[in-house]
Chains A and B, each alone.
Chain A
Amino acid sequence: MSLKYWQKRIGASVLGLGLLSSGQSLHASDAQPVRMTIERVAHLFSSKSSIATVKMQITNEDGQRNLSMKIWSSGDKIIVRITGPQDEAGIAILKEGNDIQYYLPKSNRTVTVPTSMAMNSWMGSDFTIDDLVKETFLARDYSVITSFVGQRGGIAVYEYTLTPKPDAAVVWGKVVLQIRQADSVPTWQGFYDEDGKLVRELTFSDYKTMGGRLIPTRLVMQPADKVGTRTTIEYEDIAFDVPITAATFSLPNQK
């Protein structure tokens, strides 16, 4: 498959969390097994288009907050619409190319979010704006090696370690991805800083067949330095390669 093909696929990833774009790494890495497996991981969520219904639960020392949202993706466009709770329903986040825009129904305004803020918390969760709507080119910015093959928690896994290329402008010092050998679904992803310290970890679980694919439907993001703080994402529904009209990706454009 060509590089172009992968770039297209990567663009369409929803809740990409970086790992999806790993597909590209097969061009960077010569190791055949790594190539094959990451190719399969990349297949997992990526598609020409998708529609997903998702619940997000944010837990921190102040309590718990539940958000529900619907996500549409097509090509390099992604739109997230908040459907609950009541007072935040209608907020929409549109990512088109490099631009990220928020539509705020209360103010009835559309706000452009500077790229510099893409690493800020997304609506108070432990995910960043970048995690949710912006593809991170792991393959373009990182080199991949297989760092572990064997049993982890009774499951046969592959572990890949991704380190940034010298001139890559990235925030992580290292990303570690663990997948099941049997079906190539991801089980765990760790994000490390420049000093090799774990900053946050993402745990995948509740594997279900949805939209014709076996996917982890539950993702838990846990910041390493904040005990009692975590954000859970649950897929209620996802459909791949469905036709989506261009009108879906438009925000009311008052200002």
Chain B
Amino acid sequence: MGGRLVQLAWRNLWRNRRRTFITMTAIAFGYAMLLFVACLMAGLRWQMIENGTCLVMSQIQVQAPLYYPSRLIQKTLGGGQGTDVNALLSVITADRRVYAAAPRAYGYGLLSAGHRSAGVELMGIVPERERKITILNSEIIRGDYLTARIPKGVVLGDKLASTIGMELGSEIVLLTQAADGSMGNDVYTVVGIFHTGLDAVDRGLVLMSLPALQELLQLAPTRIHEVGIKLNDITAATAVAAALERQLHKIVPARARAWPELAPELASYVQFNHAITFVLFFIFFLMAVIGVMNTMLMAVFERTRELGMLMALGMRPIQVVMLIIAEAVGLAVASLVVGGAIGVPLLWYLQAHGLDLGGASGEVISLAGVVVGHLWYGRQDFPAYGEAAVGLATTALVSALYPAWRAAHFKPTEAIRKV
């Protein structure tokens, strides 16, 4: 009986081809649009998270429990004794979800060249590891990234360079308060200048090799402030951070913080983005309800006589309801298939080529303090596509309820007389 009903519903759908086709086109395009929007929104989220973490921050930071927020240079991992950095790194990279990890040290100091000086943040890195987790190395506009060739080389931002009047090869003095309280100072050479587009970084960050910074700060080679981590899948960050924290306790007390904690503004942007996507979905579903309901009501009233005849022949009201619902859901499913067929090439294009936001000007778009870039790439968000499909099918079902209810209340004797 159920199979027959579906068959009957399907046949009924194609009896008024034009009407079915128009409704189908509307829903199909609507679904394609939803896919398009979901893909772009997911792309924006991903680009925001990726760009917000890839410059300096990284996706997970492992630090001594009390390092943040005071960021005192004495509060290294493992305290005054430090820790076996290589063992720490191998425990972290043993987690399959971790793509790469890099040790870091930080300090604050006065950078001086000629008669000008400025307060800067110092970051000590291991270049070959760091370039796997952040992309500052690809933002160098003059000179090179840090190399082992020049142990006392520093890389800094273009804004800092122009404010102080530094060029490639300039000698600078860094003055800082070392871990033992003494006045650490030394002469360094500018080997590279980067431009990230983020003012705070371009104006205030100085990169140098980890051993060079440890020497300046009077920290033993075992003492680092942080391990920065990049994951294979950024959305797993919070879970991986919690797992790492448990693992690391065997070696050293540590606190692992994932990007939503490191950059709450980024996390709240992601939430905001989800909310917008939801609102767009909701509006579309409302429109779909009206479209489907209109079609089904028309289909029911047009066939009053026919439905009355079926009931007179013994079809029970519940079966009439099922028939109408089956027609509506059939309409929706067919529309989804067509919509998907239109959408998929679009999604593929978005992910591969992106939307050009800056146009010919090539201007860079930044949002919530994060550089998005001049191309807006889409990213496949299959859960959202599924939600959209289920949502649409449900919408069709809900909007068929009223027409179906009307049809079920036809009186066969009256209905068969209707022309």
Given that A111-B112, A117-B119 are known contacts, is A87 also in contact with B182, CB under 8 Å in the complex?
Answer: yes
Within 8 A of A (CB), among B172-217: 173, 175, 177, 179-183, 185-187
- CB contacts (< 8 Å) of A108 on chain B: these are 187
Tell me if A107 and B187 are in contact (CB < 8 A).
yes
Closest A residue to B115 by beta carbon equals: A112
Tell me if A102 and B181 are in contact (CB < 8 A).
no
Tell me if A114 and B119 are in contact (CB < 8 A).
yes
Q: Which of A30-38, A58-66, A169-177, A179-187 contacts B (4 or more CB under 8 A)?
A: A58-66
Bound form: Cα–Cα A108–B179 in Å: 22
- CB contacts (< 8 Å) of B183 on chain A: these are 88, 91, 104, 123-124
Given that A104-B173, A106-B186, A111-B117 are known contacts, is A60 also in contact with B181, CB under 8 Å in the complex?
Answer: yes
Bound form: Cα–Cα A116–B116 in Å: 13
- Report the minimal beta-carbon distance from A152 to chain B, rounded to whole angstroms: 33
Q: Which one of B74, B116, B175 contacts A62 once the chains associate, using CB atoms below 8 Å? A: B74
Count of residues in A whose CB is under 8 Å from the partner chain: 23
In the complex, B114 has a CB within 8 A of chain A = yes
In the complex, B290 has a CB within 8 A of chain A = no
In the complex, A4 has a CB within 8 A of chain B = no
Bound form: Cα–Cα A124–B72 in Å: 12
Tell me if A58 and B181 are in contact (CB < 8 A).
yes
Closest A residue to B179 by beta carbon equals: A62
Bound form: Cα–Cα A111–B186 in Å: 11
- Report the minimal beta-carbon distance from B174 to chain A, rounded to whole angstroms: 9
- CB contacts (< 8 Å) of A62 on chain B: these are 74, 80, 179-181
In the complex, A213 has a CB within 8 A of chain B = no
Tell me if A102 and B116 are in contact (CB < 8 A).
no
Tell me if B118 and A114 are in contact (CB < 8 A).
yes
- CB contacts (< 8 Å) of B173 on chain A: these are 104, 107, 109, 111
Count of residues in B whose CB is under 8 Å from the partner chain: 22
- Report the minimal beta-carbon distance from B178 to chain A, rounded to whole angstroms: 8
In the complex, A113 has a CB within 8 A of chain B = yes
Max count, chain A CB within 10 A of own CB: residue among B74, B118, B185 = B185
In the complex, B110 has a CB within 8 A of chain A = yes
- CB contacts (< 8 Å) of A104 on chain B: these are 173, 175, 183, 185
Tell me if B186 and A102 are in contact (CB < 8 A).
no
Within 8 A of B (CB), among A89-148: 91, 102, 104, 106-109, 111-114, 116-117, 121, 123-124
- Report the minimal beta-carbon distance from B398 to chain A, rounded to whole angstroms: 59
Tell me if B177 and A112 are in contact (CB < 8 A).
no
- Report the minimal beta-carbon distance from A140 to chain B, rounded to whole angstroms: 27
Tell me if A111 and B110 are in contact (CB < 8 A).
yes
Bound form: Cα–Cα A116–B117 in Å: 11
Bound form: Cα–Cα A88–B171 in Å: 22
Max count, chain B CB within 10 A of own CB: residue among A87, A91, A102, A121 = A102
Bound form: Cα–Cα A172–B74 in Å: 28
Given that A62-B74, A65-B181, A87-B182 are known contacts, is A109 also in contact with B119, CB under 8 Å in the complex?
Answer: no
- CB contacts (< 8 Å) of B115 on chain A: these are 112
Given that A112-B112, A123-B183 are known contacts, is A102 also in contact with B175, CB under 8 Å in the complex?
Answer: yes
Given that A104-B175, A107-B173, A124-B181 are known contacts, is A112 also in contact with B116, CB under 8 Å in the complex?
Answer: yes
- Report the minimal beta-carbon distance from A133 to chain B, rounded to whole angstroms: 15
Given that A62-B74, A107-B187 are known contacts, is A113 also in contact with B117, CB under 8 Å in the complex?
Answer: yes
Given that A112-B117, A113-B117 are known contacts, is A65 also in contact with B187, CB under 8 Å in the complex?
Answer: no
Given that A111-B117, A113-B117 are known contacts, is A123 also in contact with B181, CB under 8 Å in the complex?
Answer: yes
- Report the minimal beta-carbon distance from B221 to chain A, rounded to whole angstroms: 19
Within 8 A of B (CB), among A58-88: 58, 60, 62, 65, 87-88
Closest B residue to A109 by beta carbon equals: B173
- CB contacts (< 8 Å) of A91 on chain B: these are 183
Max count, chain A CB within 10 A of own CB: residue among B118, B171, B175 = B175
- CB contacts (< 8 Å) of B175 on chain A: these are 102, 104, 111
Within 8 A of B (CB), among A26-62: 58, 60, 62
Given that A106-B185, A112-B116 are known contacts, is A124 also in contact with B177, CB under 8 Å in the complex?
Answer: yes
- CB contacts (< 8 Å) of B117 on chain A: these are 111-114
- CB contacts (< 8 Å) of B74 on chain A: these are 62
Closest B residue to A125 by beta carbon equals: B181
- CB contacts (< 8 Å) of B80 on chain A: these are 62
Bound form: Cα–Cα A59–B10 in Å: 87
- CB contacts (< 8 Å) of B186 on chain A: these are 106-107
- CB contacts (< 8 Å) of B171 on chain A: these are 255
- CB contacts (< 8 Å) of A58 on chain B: these are 181
- Report the minimal beta-carbon distance from A201 to chain B, rounded to whole angstroms: 21
Bound form: Cα–Cα A87–B177 in Å: 14
Bound form: Cα–Cα A92–B98 in Å: 49
- Report the minimal beta-carbon distance from A122 to chain B, rounded to whole angstroms: 10
Bound form: Cα–Cα A65–B179 in Å: 12
Given that A109-B112, A111-B112 are known contacts, is A121 also in contact with B119, CB under 8 Å in the complex?
Answer: no
Bound form: Cα–Cα A107–B115 in Å: 15
Extra contacts besides A106-B186, A112-B117 (7): CB < 8 Å = A58-B181, A65-B180, A107-B187, A109-B185, A111-B110, A113-B117, A123-B177
Instruction: List 30 A-B pairs, Cβ < 8 Å.
Output: A60-B181, A62-B80, A62-B180, A62-B181, A65-B182, A91-B183, A102-B175, A104-B173, A104-B183, A106-B185, A106-B186, A107-B173, A107-B187, A108-B187, A111-B112, A111-B117, A111-B173, A111-B175, A111-B185, A112-B112, A113-B117, A114-B118, A116-B119, A117-B110, A123-B183, A124-B181, A124-B182, A124-B183, A255-B114, A255-B171
Closest 10 CB pairs of A and B: A124-B181, A111-B112, A104-B185, A109-B173, A107-B187, A65-B181, A107-B185, A107-B173, A124-B177, A112-B117
B interface residues (Cβ-Cβ under 8 A, vs A): 74, 80, 110, 112, 114-119, 171, 173, 175, 177, 179-183, 185-187
